[in-house]
Structure 1
Amino acid sequence: MREGYEGTGPGAITPDGCAVELYTRLSVGNEPDVIEAAVPAGAHILELGCGAGRVTRPLLERGFRVTAVDESAEMLEKVAELDGGVRTVRSPIEQLDLDEKFSVVMLASFLVHNGDTAVRRRMLRACRNHVTDQGCVLIQREGADYHTNLPRERVDPGGYTTRIVSATPVGDGVNEVRAEYIFPDAVWTQTFRARPLDREQFEAALAEAGLKVDKYLTEDGIWVRAVPAE
């Protein structure tokens, strides 16, 4: 387990504290709608950090081709079971080096807020290295009050409760975030480290990787379409 990352609950836990069984149960929200509206129909999407395929499945159902990347073999086993011929690649995002480019690269799940600046830089550089010059990178950011509106909880239509319990400063602008997922038959927790980024900081991080904002796709600024700046 990485320092500052921990997960508890039934089943396998990945090095960043994600419980595989939990991720097979989580509901999909508006992500597929946002993605579909932002990219060409039937595009080949490189999904970085696909987890157990929560978003992968609806993308396949909507006619997209997906190459799904994750560092967890257990997560990728779940993705490989999906209908639609998804291709899976096991690799940490920051170490990905495929000899090909994609019209759409996706970095969701707030991964751009990784607490380790060096890891974030390599993740964004991986995005730039794998997108075509005319393509785009879709990035999911944290909401403006993600680290301050605490504790908070949301009851999901799927019948479980998601609770963000705390975000404790651990130095260098990084918070240790604790989340709980309460199902009728099981409870999981996840602790991870995240770095808040305002728009200026976010756009500076993109520029450092050779990317720039093309459009903020949602009013809250959580979903962004970036394009190569070079």
Structure 2
Amino acid sequence: MRPGHHGTGPGEITPDGCAVEFYARLPVGKEPDIIAAAVPARARILELGCGVGRVTRPLLERGFTVTAVDESPHMLDRVHGVRKVCSPIENLDLGETFDVVMLASFLVHTGDSELRRALLRTCARHLAPDGCVLIQREGENFHTEVPRERTDPSGFTTRVASVEPAGDGVNSFRVEYEFPDVTWTQTFRSRPLTTEQFEAALAEAGLKVDAYLTEDRIWVRAVHADQGPSRSTPAGA
């Protein structure tokens, strides 16, 4: 396990505390629509931290070519129909570039600042000269509105049970995922980033914000720092 990360419940648990069986049950959500609206049609996508392929499958259905990367072989066992790479994101070097690089699942908020730098360097290293990076950030009140819970229409409840300071500006979260027949928990560490801190982290990796894609500013499109405006404009922009 990564320091400060832990998971409980049936099935395999990944190094960051994620339960494979839980993610296999999750509905797709809005992410594929956000992504498809923000990138060129039929783009080559490098999906960093693909998990069980919850977003991968809908992207394939929309005509994108996806290379799926995850450090968990148990997650990748659930991904089909794409090129798969089992590797920690921070160590990845495929020797090629892509139209789109995706860093979702709030990975940019890792509590380890050096790991965050390595994640963003991986994004920049694999980005084509005129490509874009899609990054998912935490919501504005992610660290403050605790405890909180949300019941998904499909029938499970996500409960952020607690958040506690873990030192150096990092918080430790405990989250419960409750289904009628089973409950999983995950403990993980997260570093809140203001907009200014986030954009500074991008700049350190040679990237810059091209557009905030959603009103809540959770989804962001970034490009090389020396690149002009992106080829694609988000819907409604």
3-state SS, counterpart of residue 103 of structure 1: strand
1:188 equivalenced with 2:170 (yes/no): no
3-state SS, counterpart of residue 123 of structure 2: helix
- Written as runs of structure 1 = structure 2, the 5 A alignment for 1:98-117 is 98-117=94-113
Aligned equivalents of 1:194, 1:88: Cα separation in 2: 27
Aligned equivalents of 1:157, 1:66: Cα separation in 2: 29
- Written as runs of structure 1 = structure 2, the 5 A alignment for 1:200-219 is 200-219=196-215
Q: Which residue of 2 aligns with 1:227?
A: 223
1:129 equivalenced with 2:161 (yes/no): no
Match of 2:114 among 106, 111, 118: 118
Offset at residue 133 of structure 1 (A): 1.0
1:157 equivalenced with 2:153 (yes/no): yes
Runs of 4+ in 1 over 2 A off after TM superposition: none
In structure 2, runs of 5+ residues without a counterpart are 227-237
Offset at residue 143 of structure 1 (A): 0.2
Q: Which amino acid aligns with 1:71?
A: E
Offset at residue 29 of structure 1 (A): 1.6
Aligned equivalents of 2:175, 2:65: Cα separation in 1: 32
User: TM-score if structure 2 supplies the norm length?
Assistant: 0.94
3-state SS, counterpart of residue 131 of structure 2: strand
In structure 1, runs of 5+ residues without a counterpart are none
Q: Which amino acid aligns with 1:229?
A: A
Q: Which residue of 2 aligns with 1:26?
A: 26
Q: Which amino acid aligns with 2:174?
A: R
Offset at residue 121 of structure 1 (A): 0.1
Q: Which residue of 2 aligns with 1:93?
A: 89
Aligned equivalents of 1:164, 1:220: Cα separation in 2: 19
Paired residues, number: 226
3-state SS, counterpart of residue 78 of structure 1: coil
CA RMSD of aligned residues (A): 0.7
Offset at residue 159 of structure 1 (A): 1.1
Q: Give the percent of matched residue pairs that are identical in Structure 1 and Structure 2.
A: 72
Aligned equivalents of 1:166, 1:50: Cα separation in 2: 26
Aligned equivalents of 2:40, 2:194: Cα separation in 1: 29
User: TM-score if structure 1 supplies the norm length?
Assistant: 0.97
Which moved further from structure 2: 155-164 or 133-142? 155-164
Aligned equivalents of 1:112, 1:179: Cα separation in 2: 19
